[in-house]
Amino acid sequence: VLAHQGRPHDLGDARHAIGRLVDVEMATDDRADALAQLERMCEQLLANPLIEDFEIQTL
């Protein structure tokens, strides 16, 4: 949701977003399983999909 953090302010053409970064360390070699677990964590707790988008990156 745009302006999740309050009223939208006009910043011209500048793209702006306020969000949250969550580092998760998982002790597993099963990448697919880890991604599936992360997806579930994001959908059920770490983000509220109604108002927030999430993106999973692996290192």
Torsion on CA atoms 31, 34, 49, 57, rounded to nearest 10:
-50
CB atoms within 10 A of CB 42: 19
Minimum CB distance to other proteins smaller for 11 or for 32:
11
Minimum CB distance to other proteins smaller for 9 or for 15:
9
21 binds other proteins (CB under 8 A): no
| Minimal distance, residue 16 CB to other proteins, in Å | 15
Which listed residue (35, 36, 40, 48) binds other proteins by CB under 8 A? Answer: 48
The H-or-E segment that residue 35 falls in is helix 31-41
